[in-house]
Amino acid sequence: MTKRTAENSPGTGAGSDTTQATESHVTPYPGLLLSIVLSLTFCVLLKPAGAAKEDPESPEYWRDAQRSLAELGDGYLVWETRRTGTWQIWTINLDGTGLQQLTPPEQDREQQCPQISPDGTRVAYLSAPVGSGPSGGGQTPIVAALHLINRDGSGDRVIAANATKYGGWNRAVVWFNDNELAYINGEDLSTYRLNLATGQSTLLFKSQHGQSWLPNTKLDHVVASFNQISMLDGNKQLVTVVPSLGGCQPYPTADGNWVVWNHGCGGPIAKVNLTTRGIKELIQPEPEHSPVVRRHGGYRLIQPGAFRRRSQSRVRGLPQVDGCAQASAVRGD
């Protein structure tokens, strides 16, 4: 299909709203938490030196960036925002149209950690008690309901009654394919593979080293909140801890070859090759697009699958689109 989707997650630092911003940036509205699903990038077209400053809160400010995104094809973003008072999941099309809440309103619950399926048709997310959202839960484990909802907002249902985020931060699932995902059990913090067709959960590995972990799709590495990118022996269900690379919010790419993370508070965004451990910084913080009040950075998922109209090749790591590195964004005010 030619659906392009972006999703999410929050990060760390000062500020109140958690958005999933992509790479150099593209949070057209306050509280944008974008999770990017098909190696999607947000390129902000810089204004000539001396040009009059525009209001970043104005929709017109983002028009050029939205037009660039729309050229990728028919796609959408999802993020968590508390514009209605509590954290809820919202969506917008790549061309800037269709802004609306994706999930059913929940007065006493907060919705977080949206993650789009590889084919772009469904979104997994957590529904948790008020106070456990991006700026409230911190590293405290929570017990939440893991939901699945269709891209158009229909068919919302609970797929796991007891789930949680890794390390308390906003990563909750990893999609293996359109029918299977990994999630963390909210009671024992072990990681399971869930088959959506059968509803069967199978243990992948137990909580280890005082951490809850999410795996990559190859089941040879795991990630946890403060950039713990460690080794996994899937056969022995054994995690071997590797020293932290610093930063937070690591998340594996869909091919299982890379991890993208926020290499510092508010950036830069970096990637690490899981085979060579080579690190490359992709996006540096830009004060013009990341003022102090928004300097929450958590960065996130890159997934292949939907960029077929412009390229027939599968995306590996962080590809380039018109010279802009692909990264998914996470958090902002």
Largest interatomic CA distance in the chain:
60
Q: How confident is the model at residue 85 (pLDDT cuts 50, 70, 90)?
A: confident
Q: What is the pLDDT of residues 110-127, one digit of tens each?
A: 999 999 999 999 999 999
Average pLDDT, rounded, for the chain: 74
Domain 3-325 annotated CATH 3.30.43.10: no
pLDDT of res. 81: 87
Tell me, rounded to whole angstroms, the distance of Cα 82 from its chain centroid.
17
Which comes out higher in pLDDT, residue 280 or 283? 280
Q: Please, what sign has the CA dihedral across residues 244, 145, 126, 132?
A: negative
Residue 15: closest CA among 249, 266, 199, 200: 266
Sketch the domain layout of the chain as residue ranges. Answer: 3-325
Assigned token pair, 203: 């243990």
Q: Say whether 46 sits in a helix, a strand or coil.
A: coil
Which comes out higher in pLDDT, residue 325 or 222? 222
Q: Say whether 153 sits in a helix, a strand or coil.
A: coil
Q: What is the pLDDT of residues 5-56, one digit of tens each?
A: 455 433 333 333 433 333 333 333 333 333 333 333 333 333 444 445 577 7
Residue 18: closest CA among 133, 103, 141: 133
Q: What is the pLDDT of residues 206-265, one digit of tens each?
A: 999 988 999 999 999 999 987 789 999 999 999 999 988 888 889 999 999 999 988 876
